[in-house]
């Protein structure tokens, strides 16, 4: 039992580090008084240019959703989703319900994922590796379906020229769904034995991860500059990039399945 515990210690430390890194903006967030002092100090300096102001409730508070998009409690998420559903136009409620259901299904599936040893490296696919690849190939197909639903709902919201709090909410589901694919790619990359396949999955995963960062940045910009057509179009383009890169990762996983047969 002691040996088994020691084998999982590295993974636990990695997950803890990832959690702290992802929540740094919340764990070490400066107080409003400090921010106000910084603004007053910058105003006294004649050579500085004040930062552009963002709309009040229209974007700033909703943009902060991205700072903790994957770490909301179930109750907090339910309350926020309920409030959004009440405010959203009637013709968008059905898509909203579909996206919410897909997100809940994703969480349940993630809790049943098999555990693996990240330090296993062998020249060929072992029986354990084959089971790993086949399992996550199914998972990635499911998550791709959830991602596509989230993207479709997001694009419909943009087409109907909905304000930031709505496209930010749908964008959050896009980011969460795509992040699940990144997690799968990372797990497979760390455990698959075939070097060529491992490197290909790593490239696809890294590209998708960078696309997520770009999407978050473009979404914040679109919310801050709404209704700027240019900013909104950049946000839409970043979401389309996520769709294409996620498809590339899925193809790589299907190729991994072929190697396991």
Q: How many CB atoms lie within 10 A of CB 112?
A: 8
| Same domain as 115, residue 25 | no
For residue 6 the two structure tokens come to: 């020691």
Model pLDDT for residues 161-193, shown as the tens digit of each residue: 999 989 999 999 999 999 999 999 999 989 888
Query: Which residue in the block uniquely carries the two structure tokens 């809790």?
Result: 111
Closest CA to 203 of 146, 141, 151, 255: 255
| Same domain as 222, residue 138 | yes
- Please tell me the predicted confidence (pLDDT) of residue 62: 47
Domain that holds residue 167: 58-260
Q: How many domains does the chain have?
A: 2
CB within 8 Å of 227: residues ≥ 6 apart: 161
Rg of the chain over Cα atoms, rounded to whole angstroms, equals 21
CB within 8 Å of 84: residues ≥ 6 apart: 96, 165, 166, 169
Least confident of 39-53, 91-105, 113-127, 201-215: 39-53
- Please tell me the predicted confidence (pLDDT) of residue 128: 78
176 neighbors 69 (Cβ within 8 angstroms) = yes
For residue 229 the two structure tokens come to: 């057509």
| Same domain as 115, residue 153 | yes
Please report, for the domain that includes residue 225, its CATH number: 1.20.120.230
Tell me the pTM: 0.57
| Same domain as 66, residue 43 | no
CB within 8 Å of 92: residues ≥ 6 apart: 153, 156, 157, 160, 162, 166
- Please tell me the predicted confidence (pLDDT) of residue 130: 81
| Same domain as 109, residue 8 | no
Higher pLDDT, 163 or 61: 163
- Please tell me the predicted confidence (pLDDT) of residue 126: 72
pLDDT band at 66 (very low <50, low <70, confident <90, very high): very low
Closest CA to 169 of 95, 250, 243: 95
Cα–Cα distances in Å, from 121 out to 27, 117, 128, 193, 252?
36, 10, 12, 6, 19
Which of residues 14, 34, 51 is at a domain's end? Answer: 51
| Same domain as 64, residue 43 | no
H or E stretch including 233?
helix 229-260
Mean pLDDT confidence for 85-103: 61
Angle 104-221-242 from CA coordinates, rounded to 5°: 50
Average pLDDT over the chain reads 72
- Beta-carbon-side half-sphere exposure of residue 26 (alpha carbons within 13 Å): 14
Closest CA to 175 of 156, 152, 142, 150: 150
Q: What is the percent of the chain with per-residue pLDDT over 90, rounded to a whole number?
A: 36
Which of residues 36, 51, 66 is at a domain's end? Answer: 51
pLDDT at residue 119 is higher than 60: no
Cα–Cα distances in Å, from 11 out to 14, 179, 187?
5, 18, 11
pLDDT at residue 104 is higher than 90: no
- Please tell me the predicted confidence (pLDDT) of residue 217: 95
- Please tell me the predicted confidence (pLDDT) of residue 256: 78
| Same domain as 118, residue 247 | yes
| Same domain as 86, residue 26 | no
The whole-angstrom separation of Cα 161 and Cα 227 is: 8
| Same domain as 145, residue 23 | no
| Same domain as 40, residue 135 | no
| Same domain as 66, residue 46 | no
- Please tell me the predicted confidence (pLDDT) of residue 164: 92
CB within 8 Å of 91: residues ≥ 6 apart: 160
The DSSP secondary-structure symbol of 113 reads P
| Same domain as 41, residue 158 | no
């Amino acid at each position: 039992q002691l040996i088994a515990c020691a084998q999982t210690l590295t993974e636990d430390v990695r997950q803890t580090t990832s959690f702290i890194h992802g929540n740094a903006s919340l764990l070490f967030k400066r107080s409003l008084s400090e921010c106000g002092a910084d603004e007053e100090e910058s105003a006294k300096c004649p050579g500085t240019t004040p930062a552009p102001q963002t709309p009040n409730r229209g974007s700033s508070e909703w943009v902060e959703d991205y700072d903790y998009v994957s770490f909301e409690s179930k109750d907090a998420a339910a309350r926020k989703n309920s409030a959004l559903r009440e405010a959203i136009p009637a013709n968008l409620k059905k898509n909203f319900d579909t996206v919410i259901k897909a997100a809940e299904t994703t969480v349940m599936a993630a809790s049943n994922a098999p555990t693996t040893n990240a330090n296993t490296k062998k020249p060929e696919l072992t029986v354990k590796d084959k089971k790993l690849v086949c399992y996550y190939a199914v998972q990635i197909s499911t998550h791709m379906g959830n991602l596509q639903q989230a993207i479709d709902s997001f694009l419909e919201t943009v087409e109907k020229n909905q304000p930031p709090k709505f496209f930010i909410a749908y964008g959050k589901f896009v980011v969460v769904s795509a992040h699940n694919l990144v997690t799968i790619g990372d797990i497979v990359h760390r455990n698959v034995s075939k070097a060529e396949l491992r490197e290909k999955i790593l490239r696809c995963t890294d590209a998708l991860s960078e696309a997520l960062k770009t999407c978050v940045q473009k979404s914040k910009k679109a919310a801050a500059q709404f209704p700027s057509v240019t900013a909104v179009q950049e946000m839409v383009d970043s979401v389309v990039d996520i769709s294409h890169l996620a498809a590339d990762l899925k193809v790589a996983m299907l190729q991994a399945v072929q190697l396991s047969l």
